[in-house]
Structure 1
């Protein structure tokens, strides 16, 4: 068995440096006009600076171009892809076939990772996009462990699975927050509400609070809990899952660094010392995450051990 990659979502150049120290293997960078729900905004110059730092450490850079593209964004996409080729990033995350077409027409040589959010749910899809140039599939967060393992067993392509952080429940291209505040006759900045990390939809019946923000891609609503499977990684390790992702969107930089260091310990214990070493520390690792977990964000295992209800 080979060690899975530990993939993280930095918020800034300084955060990149801290996450390298914490043991991250790969980083998702980008900007909101091209990528969805990024933890931080990296313009082209910042992607270039971060890539130099990350490559110097022998690690990888993945750039998100998985936004929902309308016609008016395609020209800017082509110029952006050419810049990424010049910089020499390690992969492009895509969900829209327009990206594949642009990559071919521009003779971009950067490997592709298929990342279509909720619809990556079976191994036929993984193989379909693999035959069209995708090196990796980023699986939907709503899959059970059995479904994840079945997909991995039936493809030769890399598989990425989220193991920690928020998951998106809903996205609309409409500016729902902006429209609401205009209706209330309240003057608020509509451009990008992501920096306001204290906006929630309240569900009084279930006593849940759903984080919500708005950017140029529309409105995004997240799960009320954070996924955490640091004490349930054995099956993913044994199945040979290629990449384990920690999604740090809407979390503090310090929180993401600490969580990354704990998952690093879990991976290294299992692969360097054996399953017993991992079993001996996994409860402690979970408890350390619980100690720093925001009160409004209880931990659960996502859909790994439960079926999706539609």
Structure 2
């Protein structure tokens, strides 16, 4: 029997935070898009202060995303932002670029750091390398299977975080691809940088799949046509004591996130207290999630049960 994993969620605004805590969240991931990639919502400094106050009062953790792609001219802003996060005492910073680790040593030496390089966190040796450099947690790639996740956790010297639910990123370019395409065609159409509600899609007729596409300060992002959902396959990771289960809320409503968080909270608690009851209720959990899925977005198990082949 494993220990209870943290349920980490990505709220889309300050008001959503308390609702998701009540639904069972143990931690929230927030930030500004100029420092963090593919956030569910935009949180300026004032918002981050408010969220930090809410979470501290409720015994919940707040992590701030600083995993964008940075160039030389960004480093001064990065240092200043990290000083601010140290002053208000957030629980951790999520980073991908080693520059962030070097800056943290100078301006926030006691800050907890979570290593998240997206697709390249695929083995425990690399996770432990970053642990020895100062990271407390590794966020595993979503493209590895359950056996690899469990093996990594068994050999890891750092905490391990795994995404268990939600949309995943398939492609990112720092270019404004859609905007540039319209400009190339001579169409005077501007792309609104922060509006994810416009629901642009790439449509694959052969697979009947719609891939959400949006642009922001970090460029163009193409997302998966289905949401990961493994609410009925949590046993191995709980038994292995994976530290954090992430439910990603990008392009999702607060109402949706509340219900999904409640269901995962219930499923985890049920497995830890009565394995047989969890086994009996698995299908019900999946059906409840299917009922609230957005139109045209089915659920699947991602790469969890696929042989990892590139």
- TM-score, normalised by the number of residues in structure 1: 0.97
Unaligned runs of 5+ in 2: none
- In the alignment, what sits opposite 1:148? 149
3-state secondary structure, aligned to 1:221: strand
CA RMSD in angstroms, aligned pairs only: 1.2
Q: Does 1:123 align with 2:147?
A: no
User: Is residue 199–residue 211 contact of structure 1 (8 Å, CA) maintained in 2?
Assistant: yes
- In the alignment, what sits opposite 2:217? 216
Q: Does 1:281 align with 2:267?
A: no
Q: Superposition pairs for residues 1-310 of structure 1, below 5 Å?
A: 1-271=2-272, 273-310=273-310
Shift of residue 281, structure 1, vs aligned partner:
2.0
C-alpha distance in 1 between matches for 2:194 and 2:52:
27
- TM-score, normalised by the number of residues in structure 2: 0.97
Unaligned runs of 5+ in 1: none
3-state secondary structure, aligned to 2:203: strand
Shift of residue 184, structure 1, vs aligned partner:
3.3
C-alpha distance in 2 between matches for 1:74 and 1:237:
39
C-alpha distance in 2 between matches for 1:171 and 1:98:
20
C-alpha distance in 2 between matches for 1:71 and 1:109:
24
C-alpha distance in 2 between matches for 1:7 and 1:155:
20
C-alpha distance in 1 between matches for 2:249 and 2:123:
26
User: Is residue 86–residue 108 contact of structure 2 (8 Å, CA) maintained in 1?
Assistant: no
C-alpha distance in 1 between matches for 2:189 and 2:45:
28
Shift of residue 191, structure 1, vs aligned partner:
4.8
User: Is residue 120–residue 137 contact of structure 1 (8 Å, CA) maintained in 2?
Assistant: yes
